[in-house]
Structure 1
Amino acid sequence: MGDYQIPSKIQRLYEDIRPEQLRYHQRRVAVRKEFTFDAAHHLHLYEGKCQSLHGHTYRLAITVSGVPDERGLCMDFSELKAIYENAIARRLDHRYLNEILPPMNTSAENMIVWMWEQLETQLQAGGWKERGIRLEELCLHETPTSSAILKREWMESHAK
């Protein structure tokens, strides 16, 4: 049945591997996690279906980067989930976006910049930025085939 083998022994910390071996490198790497939320909105000064109130199951992919800690992790996926929940989900999930977001057309292009700002605030408040964790990219899908993308270098180049 092929080359599959059942491990004869489970690796044990302090017996088979030492704590100082857990971090393999000290290079910046990125981790990415995707989330979904449901919300309704409509667009102003728009000719087409999106001028009417409608809803989406949005999918947001968040990419952060950092140098792994002594365990070999930049940020645990559960920590990234908590940041997303606080910054985005609890505010937007199952809501009418035109009522919740600042005065703006609730296009994916506008929403993604607002989301970036909220996530940056959470990273700062949680001490992540002090540890070298930075937001690298967001990808907001409005539908399975339509999305907006925002990258760190674009946000930084506009600030200068």
Structure 2
Amino acid sequence: MDTSMFGFRIVEQLQKIEQDIQKNELKYHQKRVLVSKEFTFDAAHHLHCYEGKCKNLHGHTYKVVLGVSGFVDEIGIVIDFGDLKKIWKERIEVHLDHRYLNETLPKMNTTAENMVVWIYEQLQDALVNSHPDTRVEFIRLFETPTSYAEARREWMEHE
């Protein structure tokens, strides 16, 4: 069957390292690249000294976007997405998912603005130890689908 009329073809032989491509060709550039990964978690909290609905105990399905940059290694990877997931699961999510945030986070008002800085600090601390050539560029924490707080490296380091 001629598959060309459908706009695709079946690959008959996979490219092989050292035969079709050399190891020194795997790294295409020496530029800084940002990689990003998203996660969600559910949590309850309430706000202190706030006159509005959020002074009462309530919950959110939060979405967090992690932005990390670095230079690619010898095979063209800045950081494995699986490594980011492991850091998230082991160092950050354990304090957030299905938790009462006022109890599990450091003493703070559990606003998105405070939480996003805490997440930034946790990720940066983990990267210093496990991936010293990478850095956190931004953390975006959505409290609702249309409302988020963001922490950026330039703000964390220079203000």
TM-score relative to the length of structure 2: 0.93
Distance 1:139 1:103 in 2: 21
* 2:124 maps to which of 120, 123, 126: 120
Task: Measure how far apart 1:15 and its partner are.
Answer: 1.1
* 2:69 maps to which of 60, 65, 68: 65
Distance 2:103 2:14 in 1: 53
Pairing of 1:137-156 with structure 2 (within 5 A): 137-156=138-157
Q: Which residue of 2 aligns with 1:106?
A: 110
Q: Deviations over 1:100-121 (max 9, x none)?
A: 1111110000001111111111
| CA-based RMSD | 1.1
- Which residue type is aligned with residue 33 of structure 2? V
* 2:37 maps to which of 33, 47, 54: 33
* 1:6 maps to which of 5, 10, 13: 10
SS in 1 for 2:43: strand
Q: Deviations over 1:19-53 (max 9, x none)?
A: 11001001110100001111100011212211110
SS in 1 for 2:121: helix
**1:136 maps to 2:145:** no
Q: Deviations over 1:43-97 (max 9, x none)?
A: 1121221111011111110010011001100001000111111221112111100
Distance 1:122 1:10 in 2: 36
Pairing of 1:50-89 with structure 2 (within 5 A): 50-89=54-93
Distance 1:5 1:120 in 2: 44
TM-score relative to the length of structure 1: 0.92
Distance 2:90 2:11 in 1: 40
Task: Measure how far apart 1:125 and its partner are.
Answer: 2.3
Task: Measure how far apart 1:148 and its partner are.
Answer: 0.6
- Of all paired residues, the percent bearing the same amino acid is 54
Task: Measure how far apart 1:12 and its partner are.
Answer: 1.0
SS in 1 for 2:11: coil
Q: Number of paired residues?
A: 155
